[in-house]
A and B are shown apart, each in its own frame.
Chain A
Amino acid sequence: MNLHEYQAKQIFNQNEIPIPREKIAQTAQGASNIAEEFATKVVVKAQVHTGGRGKAGGIKLANNPDEAFEHANEIIGMSINDLTVRTVLVAEAVNISHESYVGIILDRQTRQPVVMVSPAGGVDIEEVARETPEKIYKVGVDPLLGLQPYQARALAYKLYSESSVVNQVSGILLKLYNLFILNDMSLVEINPLVTDLDGQVWALDGKVNIDDNALFRHSEIESLRDPASEEPTEAEAREADLSFVKLDGDIGCIVNGAGLAMATMDLVKFYGGLPANFLDIGGSSNPDKVVAAMKIITADKKVKAILFNIFGGITRCDDVANGIVTALDRIGVSNEGAPTLPIVIRLTGTNEEVGREILKSVGLVAVDTMAEAVQMAVSLGGGAK
């Protein structure tokens, strides 16, 4: 789960990592009022879950409340990487002397948190990593021991030489590490971390990603979720406890198991079709999940055919067949007056014979192999593209 910049910075602020004065607004007038209250130059920043906000015109400096109004008016409602901006952050502008980057990720390869700093701040860190990797300094942290002050200090010295600044930066790194652990983050970044003309250090931006698997122990973070910033069907799928990712194609896929679901999408593409989604109904054969899955798939008006790929192991084929029948009964599968969508079902494994009989009773036929089912779905969905 991603946090917005303003949410990340609130967490920084609560933990004494210095941030400029700032407030959020949903309207241009609100933004202008904040600028008026601060009585300084302000920066108006789009709050959306994507990078490249600056390049897209989503971050602008305002010298006075009128300019803040103007900028907010442009930014609110604009679309950045297909995401509509609904909220802006209005922050006191800082007179920047120097910019750097600090961040912590959970590194899969070394299986530990890695603290990273770079004097190349304010730009896309992935670009720095690609083009000038020597400008990124890293320290792996033993998660049983935590980040040691000497490690934080050594990293801070890679950025600055003046003691007072080094002390501030190493203090920020230690606090950031604690936040990272306490909130089960998989990533936290301050980019840029800046010094102002007085040598004071500020976090001017914040990016936080929380490990979804850890949300059960962070109800306070779950409450920061912004449903408006998500693909609506993905939010609905999450409510139904389904793993779902929307794609651009027209073959709706319902599969048990994540790996098999990916392999099914790949096979749709292999046969010239385009998958409309990734959807894993999991190990359960609860009819409610099948109903929810079909609702979500049929809500996508681009979908021309529905493909079930079920490998019954622990999941019983008869349970899934019952789920499909119940789902058809409850929602029907027509696309707002359009002819009923074709459904192709691949059903193999535990109790497949019973499952087939159940499907047959409502006029559905199950096929044997995944390749057969996918080819059939692609052809029923309008053929190879």
Chain B
Amino acid sequence: MSILVDENTRVAVQGITGRDGSFHTRQMVEYGTKVVAGVTPGKGGQKFDCLPIYNTLIEAVEGEGVNTSIIYVRPPFAGDAIYEAIDSGVGLVICITEGIPALEMAKISAYLKGSDVRLLGPNCPGVITPGITKVGIMPGHIHQPGHVGVVSRSGTLTYEIVHQLTTANIGQSTCLGIGGDPIIGTGFIDALEAFEADPETHAVVMIGEIGGSDEEKAAEFVKNKMKKPVVGFIAGRTAPPGKRMGHAGAIISGGLGGAEEKVKALNNSGIPVADRSVDVVNMIQTAIN
């Protein structure tokens, strides 16, 4: 078991012939992910390596039984690709693209209301269930199958922490990045809820950062709804207010979104927060035992 993706995941890549799309398609196939189709308008009928390319995602869903889409489409066209995915009949849409305007995402969020489709991202590394399937851009080899769920707003910081877990022989059930943008699809609470319901997950690492108040809301959720132990890490303790720290969503504005408040909120909900990323390992070990 795992969350979001497993051995039944059948992936179509939107933007398969682009630079990032083609590179990561090969990486995913190499990892063992069931990538079954690609979509590039105008290239329908051609092949990418051995994979059939379709002009539209709906055709790929009908032709290949696709249930998950991953999007590597440039920002000006990524919003359109997300709408296409939502309407195509897949259950999970993962958008890797960084740089989509926030108002575009607000419209997409409104469009998703009442729908069963789950959106992960944008501006995220995707999701991996180690040893089974990787639908994203994370390096597969640093992961190891196991029982710790990892959810994060970041990319390389997550790899750093996952790498340390694996080095300490602590495997992961599923690791997902929810994205560094201010408006995203799946949030911390959605992921925590899924981990709580997943019998294979015994503990969760939650990696947050400055900006917004999703960590605070997630802390409330952990306190009220979760039995499994959660360990936290918050990046950006030294970030100055009013400056965007790389991620569009990583900004302290109007006196809100600072790291200190987040650490306090997590602690108040009984979530230990690591001062250094390396301390996450010990904390998870303590939590599991």
Contact = CB atoms under 8 A, between A and B. Distances in A.
A270 B276 contact: yes
A258 B212 contact: no
A259 B235 contact: yes
B102 interface: yes
A382 B181 CA distance: 37
A269 B237 contact: yes
B277 A370 contact: yes
B181 to A, nearest CB: 8
Contacts of B106: 106, 111-113, 143
A74 interface: no
Interface string A233-268: 000000000010101000000011111111101111
A216 B76 contact: yes
Contacts, number: 174
A280 interface: yes
B110 to A, nearest CB: 5
B48 interface: no
B235 A266 contact: yes
Query: What secondary structure prevails in chain A residues at the interface with B?
Result: mixed
A312 B156 CA distance: 8
B239 A369 contact: no
Contacts of A266: 235-238, 259
| Tier of interface size on chain A | 35 or more
Interface residues of B, number: 65
A317 to B, nearest CB: 11
Contact of A311 (B99, B105, B163): B163
Interface string B14-39: 00000000011001000000000000
A314 to B, nearest CB: 6
Given A126-B254, A269-B238, A313-B139, A261 B246 contact: yes
Q: Majority SS of interface residues in chain B?
A: loop
A350 B278 CA distance: 20
B236 A262 contact: yes
Nearest to A113: B106
Contacts of A111: 105-106, 109-110, 183
Of listed B159, B210, B259, residue having the most chain A CB within 10 A: B159
B157 interface: yes
Interface of A: 106, 108-109, 111-113, 126, 129-130, 142-144, 181, 184, 186, 211-214, 216-217, 243, 245, 247, 255-263, 265-270, 275, 278, 280, 311-314, 348-350, 369-371
Given A260-B154, A314-B139, 4 more contacts: A258-B154, A267-B277, A312-B139, A313-B138
Nearest 8 Cβ contacts at the A-B interface: A259-B154, A258-B246, A257-B156, A259-B157, A214-B101, A313-B139, A262-B235, A243-B246
